[in-house]
Amino acid sequence: MRILSKYLAQNILASTVLVLLVLLALYTFMDFITELDDLGEGSYGLLEILRYIGLTMPKRIYELLPIAALLGSVIGLGNLASQSELVAMRAAGYSLADINKAVIVVAVLLMLLALVVGEGLRPLTEQSARQLQSVAQTGTVGSRSEHGFWTRDGNHFNHIERINGDGSFSNVQIYEFDDKHRLRVVTRAATAEYQQDSWILTDVVQSNIDKAGVKVRSVNHARWQSQLNPGMVNIVVVPPEFLPVWSLLEYVQYLKDNHQSVAQYELAFWSKLMMPLSTAVMVLLAVPFVFGPLRTAPIGGRILAGALTGIGFHLFNQSFQHMGLVFGLLPWLASAFPTLVFAGLAWWMNSRVR
């Protein structure tokens, strides 16, 4: 029986990988066409576009994995059923429960893959992709770490400790160097807001450094001219759904300590926790497509039904999460409810299979 389980799991995994590659190729081509609209902006050439798309592939894999898991499982089991291999297995004493165990093994493996891609690869590659795009399109260098957000603007090096949800900055430091790379001015501001093509700094303390020493002055407001703008920030800064879970937890705690809204980040946190489970649920949904009411349907019909189910889950999941933000639902409920609904559907459909 162990050999049959291994054979079954290998077929499902092979079909899932094949479906994932096909979907990845399709979405990569669409991303390439979209990026061509920005071709020639700054130094954003064809090579930069290809590098950017390559770096964003882990994001696409992570997003497509649930649908690929469902379609791959349907195709893998469907091929075995169409060749009467599943019938032979069951005639040899390989029960439906054994088939489900093999499917669960595949689901666990895909859950682990989702965790590795989502928490390991995607945050790193997405940050690199956005930084590459920013450098090519705007000519500025930006990076983000646990210690804040750094940009370079000519001889100015800017450090922003926090970027708020409304696009404003908190705790800004601007270091100005002369042509001989000597530090001349250090400006610190509590906040910065973008208005009329420049930043308005508040609670500013400026230190001017020369041969005579350091002169310090304070003003309530000051205007900061910089190439840095909200559009560039949106390119470089990784959105909450691309951050690893531990970074989200840290930032949520920071927002709570400062009495700021955390709903968007808590929703992203719970969505990331539910993503591997969603992949497993999609795999379990495949069994009823082969042994349930569609067992007599051709493989094309099963694939179509699986595709519609996967797309329906994706749309329902995204829509319910947005509705959760609008109507103030608990973030964990907004993230978990669609997955729990489809998990219940998978359990109900599997219980009716004979």
Are 150 and 122 within one domain? no
- Asked if residue 113 is part of any domain, the answer here is yes
pLDDT confidence band for 234 (50 / 70 / 90): low
Are 168 and 24 within one domain? no
- Give the C-alpha separation, 120 to 331, whole Å: 23
- State the average pLDDT over residues 73-78: 84
- Asked if residue 148 is part of any domain, the answer here is yes
Are 114 and 6 within one domain? yes
Are 208 and 171 within one domain? yes
Are 132 and 260 within one domain? yes
16, amino acid identity: T
Are 10 and 112 within one domain? yes
| Averaged confidence pLDDT in the chain | 82
- Give the C-alpha separation, 68 to 56, whole Å: 18
- Asked if residue 234 is part of any domain, the answer here is no
Non-local CB neighbours of 2 within 8 Å, separated by 6+ positions: none
Listed range (86-90, 142-146, 273-277) with the worst mean pLDDT: 142-146
- Give whole-number Cα distances, 59 to 56, 121, 198, 237, 264, in Å: 5, 8, 33, 15, 19
Are 208 and 156 within one domain? yes
The pLDDT tens digits for 288-345 are 777 765 556 666 676 777 778 888 888 898 889 888 888 888 888 988 999 999 989 8
Residue that is written with structure tokens 């969505």 in the block:
271
- Hey, what are 266's tokens? 């808590």
Are 249 and 332 within one domain? yes
Are 152 and 201 within one domain? yes
Of 204, 227, 250, the last residue of a domain is: 227
Are 60 and 194 within one domain? no
Residue 111: CB atoms within 10 A of its CB come to: 19
- Asked if residue 107 is part of any domain, the answer here is yes
Residue 286's domain comprises: 2-138+239-351
Of 194, 227, 260, the last residue of a domain is: 227
- Give the C-alpha separation, 152 to 343, whole Å: 48
The pLDDT tens digits for 121-144 are 888 888 788 778 877 776 555 545
Torsion sign (Cα): 75, 300, 59, 335: negative
Are 164 and 30 within one domain? no
